[in-house]
């Protein structure tokens, strides 16, 4: 009974470290970034599991990389 949904609303970062805004969006690495072709299978699996990626602040435009 795990109805846990992993999508763009689940961000590992709650607010922008630069301006403090909570209006963040996840950068879609598969669609707008390097794409699955440029990743190793492990990287892709980790990316889908939400272990790494980039979050962009909609207010100031800062991109925040996260890993682990
Ligand atoms: Zn910001």
Two tokens, residue 50: 């939400």
Centre of ligand 1 to C-alpha 50, Å, is 21
Residue 46 lies in a domain: yes
Number of domains in the chain: 1
Centre of ligand 1 to C-alpha 61, Å, is 6
Of all residues in the chain, what percent carry a pLDDT higher than 70?
87
Centre of ligand 1 to C-alpha 25, Å, is 11
Centre of ligand 1 to C-alpha 3, Å, is 31
Residue 40 lies in a domain: yes
Q: Please give the model's pTM, rounded to 2 decimal places.
A: 0.77
In terms of DSSP H, where are the helices of the chain?
Answer: 41-48
The pLDDT mean for the chain works out to: 89
Residue 14 lies in a domain: no
For the CA atoms of the chain, what is the radius of gyration?
13
């Amino acid at each position: 009974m795990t109805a846990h949904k992993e999508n763009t609303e689940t961000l590992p970062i709650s607010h922008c470290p630069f301006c403090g805004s909570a209006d963040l969006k996840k950068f879609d690495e598969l669609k707008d970034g390097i794409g699955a072709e440029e990743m190793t299978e492990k990287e892709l699996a980790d990316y889908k599991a939400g272990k790494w990626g980039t979050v962009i602040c909609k207010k100031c435009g800062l991109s925040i990389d996260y890993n682990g």
